[in-house]
């Protein structure tokens, strides 16, 4: 059997970020339940990890296989199946699919969380996800200024954090990147860099102040160090978590005057929804 392969360039050509956001939002409005997704499988290897993510959400079941720790550091492939015949219909570049859907999920959250006139965006990280988030957030809000911070010390870091309307954390950091007390009361923070329970990009101060939105409660309490560590330290509780589905469906309304934190670990249902849109394009 020879399956068509959707290369990275073709992923970007076939499906725009705005179309991916619309597909994810439509799926949640149609009743898709992220809590039903199976947990991410992790196989430890001599030089890294093999991650297995599978979902039957939507019209196209998918299995995404990703290795971490090789050369290049992250590689993978997404196998897309027909929802009726269950036959494999295509292979897609797994990293391109991941980059597209991760930024699209963040943009969907920002659409429902950020103030309408958000104009200043601060991004921690300078890799592909950082640039994907700049494009995705700029399509959702009238961004006029973008600041990108890398690993090097930045003397104006605190000032940039305090002035930002939206902050995106797109790093491999295992410790908080900034003081959460500095985040403005109207600001939205997006943290996407980790899916490990002992790694975080945001701190307890932000967790204590913020309305915390997650993709699913089960995945957050299993993988989201930003959430788990804040609960363990007593700065928030599991019953305070709001899900993205509740937000999109209008079942939850974040209170004014406090920051909003969207913590994403990445889930296979997102791959399935984006893959369906990709094969339809």
For residue 147, what is the domain's CATH number? 3.40.50.720
List the beta bridge partners of residue 64.
53, 78
Residues 169 and 232 in one domain: yes
Interstrand relation of 260-263 and 242-243 (parallel, antiparallel or unpaired): unpaired
3-state secondary structure of 198: coil
Number of domains forming the structure of the chain: 2
Range of the domain at 159: 106-267
Residues 257 and 273 in one domain: no
Residues 76 and 111 in one domain: no
Structure-block tokens of residue 185: 């009361």
Residues 87 and 139 in one domain: no
Decide: residue 2, CB within 10 A, 0-12 exposed, 13-18 middle, 19+ buried: exposed
Structure-block tokens of residue 148: 């990108």
Residues 262 and 142 in one domain: yes
Residues 110 and 237 in one domain: yes
End-to-end CA distance of the chain: 23
Name the helix (H) or strand (E) containing 263: strand 260-263
3-state secondary structure of 170: coil
| pTM exceeds 0.85 for this model | yes
Residues 16 and 131 in one domain: no
pLDDT tens per residue across all 281 residues of the chain? 688 999 999 998 999 999 999 999 999 999 999 999 999 999 999 999 999 999 998 789 999 999 998 888 889 999 999 999 999 999 999 999 999 999 999 999 999 999 999 999 999 999 989 999 999 999 999 999 999 998 888 899 999 999 999 999 999 999 999 999 999 999 999 999 988 999 999 999 999 999 999 999 999 999 999 999 999 999 999 999 999 999 999 999 999 999 999 999 999 999 999 999 999 87
Residues 45 and 172 in one domain: no
């Amino acid at each position: 059997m020879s399956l068509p392969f959707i290369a990275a360039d073709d992923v970007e050509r076939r499906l725009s970020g705005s179309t991916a956001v619309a597909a994810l939002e439509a799926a949640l409005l149609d009743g898709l339940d992220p809590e039903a997704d199976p947990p991410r499988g992790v196989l430890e290897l001599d030089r890294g990890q093999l991650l297995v993510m599978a979902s039957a959400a939507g019209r196209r079941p998918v299995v995404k296989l990703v290795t971490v720790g090789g050369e290049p550091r992250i590689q993978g492939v997404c196998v897309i199946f027909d929802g009726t015949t269950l036959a494999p219909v295509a292979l897609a570049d797994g990293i391109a699919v991941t980059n597209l859907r991760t930024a699209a999920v963040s943009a969907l959250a920002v659409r429902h969380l950020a103030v309408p006139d958000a104009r200043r965006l601060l991004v921690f990280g300078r890799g592909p996800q950082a640039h994907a988030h700049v494009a995705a957030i700029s399509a959702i809000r009238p961004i006029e200024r973008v600041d990108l911070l890398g690993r090097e010390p930045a003397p104006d870091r605190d000032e940039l954090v305090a002035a930002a309307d939206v902050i995106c954390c797109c790093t491999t950091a295992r410790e908080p990147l900034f003081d959460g007390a500095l985040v403005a009361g109207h600001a939205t923070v997006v943290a996407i860099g980790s899916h490990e329970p002992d790694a975080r990009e945001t701190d307890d101060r932000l967790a204590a102040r913020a309305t915390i939105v997650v993709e699913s409660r089960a995945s957050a309490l299993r993988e989201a160090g930003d959430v788990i560590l804040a609960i363990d330290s007593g700065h928030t509780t599991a019953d305070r978590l709001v899900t993205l589905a509740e937000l999109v469906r209008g079942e939850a309304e974040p209170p004014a005057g406090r920051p909003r934190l969207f913590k994403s670990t990445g889930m296979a249902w997102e791959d399935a929804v984006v893959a369906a849109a990709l094969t339809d394009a």
